[in-house]
Structure 1
Amino acid sequence: MNRESRAATLMVSVASATTTTLPVFLTGALAVVIRHHLGLSTTELGLLVSTFFLSSIPLSLLTGPRVGLLGVERLMRAAVGASVISLLTIAVIDRSFLSILVSLVLAGAANGVMQPTVNQFLVGRTRIQGQGLAFGIKQAAVPLSTLLAGLAVPLVALTIGWQYGYLGAAIFGIVVLISIPPASAQRTRDGEPTRTRVVLAPLVILAVGMAFGAGAANAMGAFLVTSNVHSGLSPGTAGYLAALGSASSFSTRILSGYFADRRKGNHLRVVAAMLMLGAVGYVLLSVPGHEFIVIGVILAYAAGWGWNGVLNFAITKTHPGAIAHATGITQAGLYCGSLLGPLLFGILVDHMGFGVAWKVNAVFGVVGGLAMLLGRRALRNELARRDASS
């Protein structure tokens, strides 16, 4: 593959994954404005975010084993198209909690289809030697979404109206839809050279680790702006601070992928260490006042939400012939955490305050890191048995 084709593959992967995550992160970032117009409680906001991830779970599990049969590029177009419809509906029609909820169900289903599919798309069109960096760049789509969502607060929501944030995202999605290339005959040969048996038990343990880590991270993505406004920052400043955190996560995901290509193993140990370092950031966000807020945001975003690319890279290295299937399982864990994390965070805020909610987030980060270490041991044992029997 030449450099131009690889760059185009990475751009399409990032843009496609960004489009399907924009609906939920726009809702989280713009909540400080939407709540004023629609009279939503913090718990209702958490329910909106959780519903998005709830509808992602079954589609991730069902799509992963069938990506080759259904067609990678066809599934990507369907997912982006559904996301565009969701964004347009919220921008033009939705004016109540229930109507936005329905739109986010559609958007969540699209995201569930997209994530295992784009993993297969990326591996099928990328040289093996550079796949760590490729996954880091692809996973940078999530912080890119939160960065754009954070900037939408001061630049769009506080100037011309929150609906235009969703409208701009829909226009972006239409451009992405047009840019998805036709099916490649090379995809199957490069992406699935041999059929690999999925080792279910270790993947489930890793999925549990992802659930705790992603639950904490997505609660942060949904509530950071609201939390900082509550602590005394202006909505504009809070939006810029969220964008700064997203930029740090964006950079970390790319750098961690770059170093993963140059490191022989131990990828899951790195994931565990990042989750626990992110927990320190959550603790700092729980401290009253603004003295530690910038450090807390950067640590929580860069470490606590910068590990996804390394984890997906580690799974593809152990399941080269079942990439979409294996990552579909772990993604389901991520969605479970992303469902429960924001909902629990919203309930804790309503009843006990932001300080307690951030501390619970820190506990989630630590538990997620420990689960990664346990999953790593189980995976190594299972792979050793698989190799011995082959």
Structure 2
Amino acid sequence: MNVWLLPLIAMAAVQAFVGLCLFAIPVIAPQAAPDLGVDPGLLGLYTAVVFTAAIPASLGAGGLIARWGAIRTCQACLLAAAGAALLSASALPIAFLLGALALGFAFGPETPASTQLLSRLTPPEKRPLVFSLRQTGNQFGGMAAGFAVPLLVLSVGWQASLMVVAGATAVLALVLEPLARRHDGDDRAAPRPAGRGTLKRALDLVAGEPALRRLAMAVCAFSAMQLCLNGFLVSFAVTSLGWSLPLAGTALAVAQGAGLVGRVGWGLVATRWAPPRVILAGLGVAMSVAAALVAVATPGWPVPAFLAVCAAFGLSASGWNGLFVSEVARLAPTGRAGEATGGMLAIAYAGLVIGPALFSLLVAGGFGYSAGYLAAAAVALAGAAALVIPLPPAPTPDLSTAAKDTPCA
């Protein structure tokens, strides 16, 4: 058996359950919003809080991985996500807010931890496919939220549904213990970054490499689009198209399923035929077109037609993540893949904060979900342009001046 296979399955499962804890919120939004006394569209601000907390958590991921190991870090993320779901299930607005913060601390380190582990175990030529397969965990979490959570809500209510999600997530943390004992020693044996300056060093690592800077611009835009797809599609289908909650959940599940196919498929394409950067730029254009089509959908559209648009949306807006992570692992200095991923994700999470927050404000301001999706389409198109328009190189220090200013030994 390949040494990376079992860790790959484990890391995909971690992402699936952390993602499930997040995706469950927009699915239960139409039911939970009246109990919380808010408009369903404003629950998009929940995701903004999640990824605001995820920014410092991702920047500090390198230190956590060096201290605990990659898998132990993932266990902590799972327990934080389970706690977030339990807090949200209380139906208290302040607990809902605390749950969003806890979920942000779960999201921040889990991808850097898995990147550090898999980049160490996977041959370079297999990384685009392996990282794409790992990123399918997000899609499995989204599909579970789209198919299973609505049925749970209808049978036991939204609060009990979140409790079930929390329990399953905590169980996975326990299941990972044997893998942690087997693999975490290598991460803890690696040189440990000093606590002070660790956050800044992760950002400097991204800013100092032109290829990473360009990728960061694109991932910020694509992340905003992805969360606008996942965070508002169910509420859009219920409120704007008049669909039932199970049917709207099916639309989200279709998008997530297409994203699953996309992540594996684009990984294969990048491994055999086309550079990841070119594929990422094309996906940016495709997700912009799909978002515009969602924006113009009306209740008169046939259900299969809208589901086809959702599939195209998911194939592009949820299909790029594995290519992104494999590119970061390829461009990062040896042994610093987790740290580079943390710095890059901090920028991605900024997009996840700003995008849904602006989307929610457009909805609350009376412009509607269509205006939000059109705005997201424009942002994603700009991200695609960042990948194909060359950026100026980073300024380099004047070595002659530095030599004059340096005293002789």
Task: Classify the TM-score, shorter chain.
Answer: 0.7 to 0.9
Instruction: Report if the CA contact (8 A) 2:206-2:343 is conserved.
Output: no
Find 1:32's aligned residue among 30, 44, 47: 30
* Deviation readout 1:286-344 (Å, 9 max, x if unpaired): 11322442232111111122101101111211225121111111111111111111111
Equivalence for 1:338: 352
Equivalence for 2:382: 367
Which sections of structure 1, spanning at least 5 residues, go unmatched? 383-390
Further displaced range: 69-78 or 97-106: 69-78
Amino acid corresponding to residue 257 of structure 1 in structure 2:
G
Q: Which portions of structure 1, spanning 4 or more consecutive aligned residues, are displaced by more than 6 angstroms?
A: none
SS of 2:155's partner is coil
Amino acid corresponding to residue 15 of structure 2 in structure 1:
A
Q: 1:257 to 1:102 in 2, by over 3 A?
A: same
Amino acid corresponding to residue 218 of structure 1 in structure 2:
L
SS of 2:30's partner is helix
Which sections of structure 2, spanning at least 5 residues, go unmatched? 192-201, 395-409
Equivalence for 1:141: 137
Equivalence for 1:316: 329
Q: 1:361 to 1:185 in 2, by over 3 A?
A: closer
Q: 1:360 to 1:138 in 2, by over 3 A?
A: same
Deviation at 1:66, TM superposition (A): 5.5
* Deviation readout 1:168-196 (Å, 9 max, x if unpaired): 2222212321222124278559x99xxx9
Instruction: Report if the CA contact (8 A) 2:217-2:386 is conserved.
Output: yes
Whether 1:152 aligns to 2:157 is: no
Q: 1:172 to 1:128 in 2, by over 3 A?
A: farther
Map 1:114-129; keep pairs closer than 5 Å: 114-129=110-125
Equivalence for 1:100: 96
Deviation at 1:43, TM superposition (A): 5.0
Q: 1:104 to 1:185 in 2, by over 3 A?
A: closer
Equivalence for 2:363: 349
Between the aligned partners of 2:184 and 2:172, the Cα distance in structure 1 is: 22
Between the aligned partners of 1:23 and 1:340, the Cα distance in structure 2 is: 20
- Please, what TM-score do these two structures have when normalized by structure 1? 0.88
Q: 1:187 to 1:130 in 2, by over 3 A?
A: farther
Equivalence for 1:241: 251
Equivalence for 1:216: 225
Amino acid corresponding to residue 145 of structure 1 in structure 2:
G
Deviation at 1:64, TM superposition (A): 3.0
Map 1:234-313; keep pairs closer than 5 Å: 234-263=244-273, 266-289=275-298, 290-291=301-302, 292-313=305-326
Between the aligned partners of 2:161 and 2:257, the Cα distance in structure 1 is: 19
Amino acid corresponding to residue 315 of structure 1 in structure 2:
V
Instruction: Report if the CA contact (8 A) 2:23-2:230 is conserved.
Output: yes
**Which structure has the larger Rg?**
2
* Deviation readout 1:255-312 (Å, 9 max, x if unpaired): 2122222246x21121111011011110110113224422321111111221011011
SS of 1:140's partner is helix
Map 1:49-128; keep pairs closer than 5 Å: 49-64=47-62, 67-91=65-89, 94-128=90-124
Count of residues in correspondence between the two structures: 371
Please report the RMSD computed on the Cα atoms of aligned residues, expressed in angstroms: 2.5
Amino acid corresponding to residue 87 of structure 1 in structure 2:
A
Q: 1:137 to 1:296 in 2, by over 3 A?
A: same
Equivalence for 1:13: 11
